[in-house]
Amino acid sequence: MMDLNDFQDSFSRLINFKKNRFHPLVWINGDPQIGNDVYIGGMSEINAKGANVSIGDGCDIASFVAINCADTHKKCIGLSDKPCCKDITIEHNVFIGSHSIIKGGASIGHSSVVAAGTVVDGQDIPPHSLISGNPMVVKPGYYLSKNNLFITHNKPNLGFEEESAATKIIRSGWLVSGREVDSLENELCDFLNVEKGHVVAVSSGTAALFLALNALDAKQKNVAIPAYTCSSLRHAVKMSQACEYLVDCEKKSPNMDTQKLNSEKKLDIAIVPHMFGIPVDISKIKNIKIIEDCAQAIGAKINDTHVGLRGDCGIYSFYATKLMTTGGQGGAFVSKDKALADFVRDYINFDQRKDFNFRFNFQMTDLQAAIGREQLKKLPYFLKRREEIFQQYKDAGLELIDSSHESIKPVRYRAVMKHLSSKKIIEQLAAKGIKSIVPIEDWELLGEFVKFPNAFNLTQTTLSLPIYPSLKDIDVNKIIAGVLE
């Protein structure tokens, strides 16, 4: 079967369209300057022959759009010997609706929207504008005055590759768990450096937690979970008919205080999350089975070993806002002990079985897996870009929660800042169109405030800043300026 690159090569030769990184049916003439994270839909045209055409980062250009520096009407009727070519500048984060025309001489300011069917004449248009109609009508500052311009707190990064992979599955007619799931499991094994068969893809990270508890026979056993975490852990413990034991986090870290696990003799299992992508060293936990919750930490390492492989088993989440996604929901179970992985695989393969063992459908679909495979290819870049943004925040003097241990290699799922006036900073940023959040609110804690003072303190003194791969440096600088104001 011909892969996507071969198809694009063959198709480009057939229709005489120069191959590009956007779509086989995008026609590019000349040498326009096109930034990063730009989307251009099929049947759109960019003509930069005879003038400079510049398109900034983060632009979204729909299908059937003509960005044409050349005006040939005078040449056509004999009033000129050559086309009239003028430069076009489209600044960053401009949306251009379908069937629009951008004429030579146009300069569109950043964070503007060109409505579908608009003809943009050759003039300067200020940032944050709404441009619509033919003849065009410009509403300067429309998106600034209405506070519609917003830097979101988090954002999934999906592109043409994921769209193509999903389309292929839809057209194949096979949507449920199959070859794509098998391939994703094998590729996750390669990424984690474990043998094939040790990873099982499942429907969600919460499902993976429930399956991990069942693999460790948690029913009626005492399971330690942190008070400072999401509710998924509590739900998984209750569904497994286990007994919950809450533990505070450390004073200077969002991670569970593992020393308290050794002092409690009645514990059987602990679920240990690597909060915000910062790994927990579990090597000193004794006589307790460990489930590593790596929902926020895929790619993080301790002593060059991936998190998820140091305990009895580990789980990953591929929810929409996690480090990678399988199309909104999804997760995975991993264990060095293949018998545990085999248990989980058997548990989710519930239908048409000849025994009467209890099982349940927690399967991932091929549609999810196809998207996840493309995301996994991009994961190294995602992690690298998040690290760059994290370091920009630190270089600006922002006090971020981090680990200083040489053996620990975090990933930057969250950029969590310590500040005594965290709520004020959140309001300050919101006034500038920047979304930040309290990573875990006090009402989200799994126990009473007085019993878990370290966890409660974090809810009062932390905020999470935007950090995701498509976040531009110019926006990072806006966020820094908004914090330091």
Residue 263: per-residue pLDDT? 83
Encoded tokens for 254: 């969002």
Residue 146: per-residue pLDDT? 52
Q: Tell how strand 269-273 and strand 222-226 pair up.
A: parallel
**% of residues, the chain, pLDDT over 90:** 76
Residues 6+ away with beta carbon under 8 Å from 239: 210
Arithmetic mean of pLDDT, 450-474: 95
> Cα separation of 369 and 324, whole Å?
12
> Cα separation of 432 and 449, whole Å?
32
User: For residues 133 and 151, is the Cβ–Cβ distance under 8 A?
Assistant: no
- Cα 448–454–457 angle (5° rounding)? 85
Residue 37: per-residue pLDDT? 87
The dihedral sign for the CA sequence 340, 341, 344, 346: negative
Residue 148: per-residue pLDDT? 47
465 in helix, strand or coil? Answer: strand
Averaged pLDDT score across all residues of the chain? 92
Residue 6 — very low, low, confident or very high, per pLDDT cuts 50/70/90?
low
User: In the block, which residue shows the tokens 């063959």?
Assistant: 10
Residue 417: per-residue pLDDT? 97
Least-confidence region, from 30-39, 98-107, 273-282, 457-466:
30-39
Arithmetic mean of pLDDT, 155-175: 92
Beta bridge partners of residue 289, listed in sequence order: 269
Q: Is 80 exceeded by the pLDDT of residue 21? A: no
Arithmetic mean of pLDDT, 372-382: 97
Helix (H) or strand (E) holding 174: none
User: Which domains does the chain possess?
Assistant: 4-145 (2.160.10.10), 160-375 (3.40.640.10), 379-484 (3.90.1150.10)
> Cα separation of 115 and 132, whole Å?
5
Q: For residues 33, 38, 39 and 44, what is the CA-based torsion angle, rounded to 10 degrees?
A: -20
Least-confidence region, from 12-21, 343-352, 366-375:
12-21
> Cα separation of 241 and 250, whole Å?
28
210 in helix, strand or coil? Answer: helix
483 in helix, strand or coil? Answer: helix
Q: Is 60 exceeded by the pLDDT of residue 321? A: yes
Q: 259-265 — which CB contacts under 8 Å span 24+ positions?
A: 259/284, 261/224, 261/285, 261/288, 262/286, 264/224
- DSSP secondary structure of 62-87: -SS-EEE-EE-HHHHTTS-SS-EE--
Residue 145 — very low, low, confident or very high, per pLDDT cuts 50/70/90?
low
Residue 2: per-residue pLDDT? 54
Question: For the segment 187-228, what is each residue's pLDDT rounded down to a tens digit?
Answer: 999 999 999 999 999 999 999 999 999 999 999 999 999 999
Arithmetic mean of pLDDT, 277-288: 93
Residue 103 — very low, low, confident or very high, per pLDDT cuts 50/70/90?
very high
Residue 167 — very low, low, confident or very high, per pLDDT cuts 50/70/90?
very high
The dihedral sign for the CA sequence 83, 84, 87, 88: negative
User: For residues 390 and 417, is the Cβ–Cβ distance under 8 A?
Assistant: no
Residue 147 — very low, low, confident or very high, per pLDDT cuts 50/70/90?
very low
Q: Is 50 exceeded by the pLDDT of residue 336? A: yes
Arithmetic mean of pLDDT, 152-176: 92
Arithmetic mean of pLDDT, 413-418: 97
Residues 6+ away with beta carbon under 8 Å from 418: 399, 400, 401, 461, 462
Q: Is 60 exceeded by the pLDDT of residue 8? A: no
Q: For the chain, first and last CA: distance in Å? A: 57
Q: Is 80 exceeded by the pLDDT of residue 1? A: no
Q: Report the side by side order of strands in the sheet with 408-409.
A: 305-306, 301-302, 408-409
